[in-house]
Amino acid sequence: MTGQIVITGAGIVSAIGNNMAETVRSLCSEKTGVGILRHLNTTHKEFPVGEVKMSDYDMKRLLHISDEPTTRTALMGMLSIKEALEAASLSEREGLSIALVSGTTVGGMDKSEQYYLDYLGNDSRNEYIKAHDCGATTEMMADYFGGFSLVTSISTACSSAANAIIMGANLIRGGIVDMAVVGGAECLTKFHLNGFNSLMILDHEQCKPFDACRAGLNLGEGASFIVMETAESAQKRGAHVMAVLSGYGNASDAYHQTASSDQGDGAYLSMQKALNMAGLQPEDIDYINAHGTGTPNNDMSESQALLRVFGEHMPLVSSTKGMTGHTTSASGAVETTICLMALQHGIVPVNYGWKTPMENGIIPSMSVKAENPLRHIMCNSFGFGGNDSSLIISRYDHEQ
Backbone φ and ψ of 276, nearest 5° = -65, -45
> Counting runs of H as helices and runs of E as strands, what totals does the chain give?
14, 12
> Do 289 and 338 form a contact (C-beta atoms < 8 A)?
yes
CA distances from 133 to 59, 106, 190, 207, 256 (A): 21, 8, 16, 30, 25
Q: Is 207 a catalytic residue?
A: no
Look at residue 39 and give its three-state secondary structure: coil
- Please give the Cα distance from 127 to 205 (Å, whole number): 37
Long-range pairs, 33-39, Cβ under 8 A, ≥24:
33/220, 33/323, 33/324, 33/325, 34/206, 34/207, 34/218, 34/220, 34/322, 34/323, 34/324, 34/325, 37/188, 39/188
List strands edge to edge, sheet with 316-318.
Answer: 150-154, 98-103, 179-186, 222-230, 5-13, 243-252, 387-394, 376-383, 287-289, 316-318
Catalytic residue (one of 158, 207, 339, 379)? 158
Q: Which of 147, 157, 144, 153 is nearest to 182 (CA)?
A: 153
- Name, in order, each residue with C-beta under 8 angstroms of 382's C-beta and a sequence gap of 6 or more: 158, 159, 260, 266, 267, 270, 291, 298, 302, 388, 389
Q: Is 345 a catalytic residue?
A: no
Q: Which of 251, 241, 102, 123 is nearest to 181 (CA)?
A: 102
Class of residue 300 by CB neighbours under 10 A (exposed 0-12, middle 13-18, buried 19+):
buried
Catalytic residue (one of 39, 132, 192, 326)? 326
Catalytic residue (one of 291, 339, 376, 379)? 291
- Please give the Cα distance from 364 to 98 (Å, whole number): 38
Q: Is 44 a catalytic residue?
A: no
Q: Residue 51: which region, alpha, beta or left (left: phi > 0; alpha: psi -120 to 50)?
A: beta
DSSP of 52-107: -S--HHHHHHHHT--SS---HHHHHHHHHHHHHHHHTT-S--TT--EEEEEE-SST
Q: List, by residue number, the catalytic residues.
A: 158, 291, 326
